[in-house]
């Protein structure tokens, strides 16, 4: 039983995530400012305002319609949301995990991670769900970014963090991060997008880690010696 005055598991998790962001400040100063995460957030907010407040009908064309999808909808639907709760819950985790990825890997890597995991999750949802469905939401990208942030710098500390916080984090993300599928008049949580986003994020990290570095990059001195021997 937790004693009065002791911090809850939620507050401990939030402190841990904030400390991760603070530790990344040095990398941010060395590698330039972190801008991509804020552009992603702004794009999500902007489309929400255009869709729900200004009621611009053309925004609906960015949703993923399973019966007759356009190629761009697999990407654009990851920036669209059904209501305010859908938007705010997703973007909280996009910010937390996206900032960690950007601080570690850079702006371009964050954009690619968001787009590939989000679009990949939508593709799998389109293959599996009924043709009457309409998908929108960023939670495929949320789960992808979460997986990438855990796996991108894997060491014993990360293993310990996952053992301690992993299940709690997954439960909280599953609670709050929502991929919405509209089937008929009902809004349903798209758990296929959650799982797909995480698997695609893991696959991205695996593929990148398997790309061999050239021998010149690994050992420039040895390469120079070989050149001297040939001449």
Catalytic residues, by residue number, are 139, 194
Tell me if residue 84 falls in helix, strand or coil: helix
> What is d(CA 60, CA 47) in angstroms, rounded to the nearest whole number?
10
Tell me if residue 140 falls in helix, strand or coil: helix
Rounded to whole angstroms, what are the CA distances from 100 to 106, 166, 172?
Answer: 10, 16, 18
Residue 38, Cβ density class (10 Å: 0-12 exposed, 13-18 middle, ≥19 buried): middle
- CA neighbor of 165 nearest in space, from 5, 3, 12: 12
Cβ neighbours of 164 (radius 10 Å): 13
DSSP element (H, E) containing 180: strand 180-183
Tell me if residue 132 falls in helix, strand or coil: coil
Tell me if residue 178 falls in helix, strand or coil: coil
């Amino acid at each position: 039983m937790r004693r009065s005055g002791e911090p809850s598991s939620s507050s401990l998790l939030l402190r841990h995530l904030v400390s991760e962001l603070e530790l990344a400040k040095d990398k941010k100063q060395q590698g330039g400012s972190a801008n991509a995460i804020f552009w992603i957030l702004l794009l999500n907010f902007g489309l929400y305002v255009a869709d729900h407040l200004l009621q611009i009908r053309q925004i609906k064309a960015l949703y993923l319609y399973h019966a007759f999808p356009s190629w761009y909808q697999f990407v654009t639907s990851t920036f669209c949301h059904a209501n305010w709760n859908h938007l705010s819950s997703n973007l909280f985790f996009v910010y937390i995990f996206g900032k960690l990825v950007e601080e570690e890997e850079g702006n371009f890597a964050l954009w690619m991670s968001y787009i590939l995991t989000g679009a990949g999750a939508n593709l799998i949802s389109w293959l599996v769900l009924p043709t009457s469905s309409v998908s929108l939401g960023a939670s495929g990208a949320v789960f992808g970014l979460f997986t990438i942030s855990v796996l991108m710098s894997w060491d014993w500390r990360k293993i310990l963090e996952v053992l301690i916080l992993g299940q709690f984090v997954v439960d909280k993300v599953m609670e709050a991060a929502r991929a919405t599928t509209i089937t008929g008049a009902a809004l349903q949580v798209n758990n296929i997008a959650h799982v797909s986003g995480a698997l695609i994020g893991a696959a991205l990290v695996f593929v990148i880690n398997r790309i061999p570095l050239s021998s010149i990059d690994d050992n420039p001195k040895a390469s120079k010696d070989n050149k001297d021997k040939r001449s």
